[in-house]
Amino acid sequence: MSRVGFVGLGNMGGPMAANLAKAGHAVDVFDLMPAALAKAEAAGCASAGSAVNALANAEVFFSMLPAGRHVAGLYLGSDGQDGLLAQVPDGAILVDCSTIDPATAKRVAAAAAERGIAMLDAPVSGGTAGAENGTLTFMVGGASETLEAVRPLFDAMGANLFHAGDAGAGQTAKVCNNMLLAVHMAGTAEALALGVSQGLDPAALSEIMRQSSGGNWSLEVYNPYPGVMEGVPASREYQGGFLVDLMTKDLGLAMDTAESSGAPVPMGGLARNLYRMHAAQNNAGQLDFSSIQQLFEPKSST
Ligand code: NAD
């Protein structure tokens, strides 16, 4: 049993903290939203009253926040207030699971290292279902011995654990993966729309491409065309799943990351523009990202 602190109990952090409690760990939690706190308490976590209190007794402390500015604010401080780095108990390990830009992850980890504090960036893949079912994939940046110390806690929340490299490498791996996901989802939707416009059955075309050289994850498990696959967002009007707004955020992180190293990302840039157009034209920000299919619907020529 470990003593764990957990801050950020939203769609992802809430079920992750609940799975740690379910595995028998003592989990002190904090969130700005009372409703999120109440849910975590009902799942066996203890409300700490503040982030500082959630950290006070922790051997390992997790954060799962919306974006880089929240993570920097929490650990480094803001508006003249000290961040959590000033109050980390001896030997405690910090793990940020939020999806943020690699530059901020490196900056926070470097500030932690200056104080002799071990920190990992450990963004996740697998969505809210993965968080609830404890089947997330963690992509970890930081020292391998720190990862090994946290491994039992990762195992309580996930099914796969990858060491991507040094501080920030987990975030870089996540950014690359989500950029590729956006590109192949948009390409899959475009190909399906072309076939359907020529009179093909979307299910038959999906199966042909899935078993041919166009096969990819979207066709395997997340078909974007309504009615082709059961149990995916496309078959429930794109409700739930991974929101267009979050995918657009992640594509922005990919562009910022590419800017910092000069890497060309023309496909990622196009995917970002497609998702932005989709969000604006179809009011789709709160729909699942496979709803990009709607952008390729043939428009009437009359
Ligand atoms: P969310 O908005 O549901 O949850 C974020 C929580 O953080 C909220 O409850 C908010 O009140 C809390 N919070 C914000 N600032 C805080 C602070 N200073 N102190 C305490 N609590 C604070 O977001 P989410 O869907 O849980 O996503 C969290 C992270 O995980 C994001 O970086 C997101 O990109 C990433 N992610 C999300 C998914 C997904 O499918 N939702 C999948 C993979 C990764």
Pairing of strands 136-141, 124-125: antiparallel
Q: Does 106 share its domain with 162? A: yes
Q: How far is the CA of 291 from the centre of ligand 1 (A)?
A: 22
The encoded tokens of residue 52 equal 């500082």
Q: Render pLDDT for 162-203 as a digit per residue (tens, 0 to 9).
A: 999 999 999 999 999 999 999 999 999 999 999 999 999 999
Could you tell me which residues are beta bridge partners of residue 162?
139
Examine residue 29 and state whether it is found in any structural domain, yes or no: yes
**Catalytic annotation on 39?**
no
Q: How far is the CA of 128 from the centre of ligand 1 (A)?
A: 11
Residue 237 domain boundaries: 172-296
Ligand 1: residue whose CA is nearest its atom 42? 127
Question: Rounded to whole angstroms, how far apart are CA atoms 119 and 104?
Answer: 13
Residue 49 DSSP one-character state: S
Q: Check pLDDT > 70 for residue 74.
A: yes
The encoded tokens of residue 59 equal 């051997």
Q: Does 11 share its domain with 112? A: yes
Ligand 1: residue whose CA is nearest its atom 25? 11
Q: Does 190 share its domain with 41? A: no
User: Quick one: which atom of ligand 1 is closest to the CA of 241?
Assistant: 40
Q: Does 154 share its domain with 226? A: no
CA distances from residue 272 to 247, 249, 253, 296 in whole angstroms, order as listed: 8, 9, 10, 15
**Average pLDDT value for residue range 253-259:** 96
Q: Does 153 share its domain with 215? A: no
| Per-residue confidence (pLDDT) for residue 301, from 0 to 100 | 55
- Catalytic residue, from 106, 174, 249, 299: name it: 174
What are the backbone dihedrals phi and psi of residue 177, each rounded to the nearest 5 degrees, phi first?
Answer: -60, -45
**Average pLDDT value for residue range 48-76:** 97
Residue 162 DSSP one-character state: E
The encoded tokens of residue 293 equal 């299919």
User: Quick one: which atom of ligand 1 is closest to the CA of 12?
Assistant: 26
**Residue among 81, 128, 246 whose CB has most ligand 1 atoms within 8 A, to mutate:** 246
Number of Cβ within 10 Å of residue 292's Cβ equals 29
Examine residue 302 and state whether it is found in any structural domain, yes or no: no
Examine residue 197 and state whether it is found in any structural domain, yes or no: yes
**Average pLDDT value for residue range 251-259:** 96
Q: How far is the CA of 163 from the centre of ligand 1 (A)?
A: 23
If one counts the domains in the chain, the total is 2
Q: Does 106 share its domain with 232? A: no
The encoded tokens of residue 186 equal 């948009």
Question: Rounded to whole angstroms, how far apart are CA atoms 200 and 143?
Answer: 52
Rg (CA), the chain: 20
Q: Examine the fold and report which residue of 166, 181, 203 is the final residue of a domain before the chain moves on.
A: 166
Q: How far is the CA of 175 from the centre of ligand 1 (A)?
A: 17
- Cβ neighbors of 51 (< 8 A, separation 6 or more) are 7, 30, 74, 84
With contact defined as beta carbons under 8 Å apart, do 244 and 279 qualify?
yes
Q: How far is the CA of 162 from the centre of ligand 1 (A)?
A: 21
**Average pLDDT value for residue range 116-121:** 98
CB 242 less than 6 A from any atom of ligand 1: yes
User: Quick one: which atom of ligand 1 is closest to the CA of 30?
Assistant: 20
Q: Render pLDDT for 195-246 as a digit per residue (tens, 0 to 9).
A: 999 999 999 999 999 999 999 999 999 999 999 999 999 999 999 888 999 9
**Residue among 65, 99, 253 whose CB has most ligand 1 atoms within 8 A, to mutate:** 65
Helices marked H in 1-81 — which ranges?
13-22, 34-42, 51-56, 68-76
The encoded tokens of residue 60 equal 């390992």
- CATH code of the domain containing 143: 3.40.50.720
Q: Does 144 share its domain with 191? A: no
Q: Does 250 share its domain with 232? A: yes
Q: Examine the fold and report which residue of 112, 132, 166 is the final residue of a domain before the chain moves on.
A: 166
User: Quick one: which atom of ligand 1 is closest to the CA of 243?
Assistant: 40
* Residue 255 amino acid letter: M
Q: Which helix (H) or strand (E) holds 163?
A: strand 158-165
Q: Does 198 share its domain with 265? A: yes
CA distances from residue 170 to 161, 173, 178, 285 in whole angstroms, order as listed: 11, 5, 12, 26
Q: Does 160 share its domain with 176? A: no
| Per-residue confidence (pLDDT) for residue 299, from 0 to 100 | 75
pLDDT confidence tier of residue 79, bands split at 50, 70 and 90 = confident
| Per-residue confidence (pLDDT) for residue 170, from 0 to 100 | 98
Question: Rounded to whole angstroms, how far apart are CA atoms 258 and 268?
Answer: 10
Q: Render pLDDT for 26-57 as a digit per residue (tens, 0 to 9).
A: 999 999 999 999 999 999 999 999 999 999 99
**Average pLDDT value for residue range 124-129:** 89
Examine residue 301 and state whether it is found in any structural domain, yes or no: no
Q: Examine the fold and report which residue of 107, 135, 166 is the final residue of a domain before the chain moves on.
A: 166
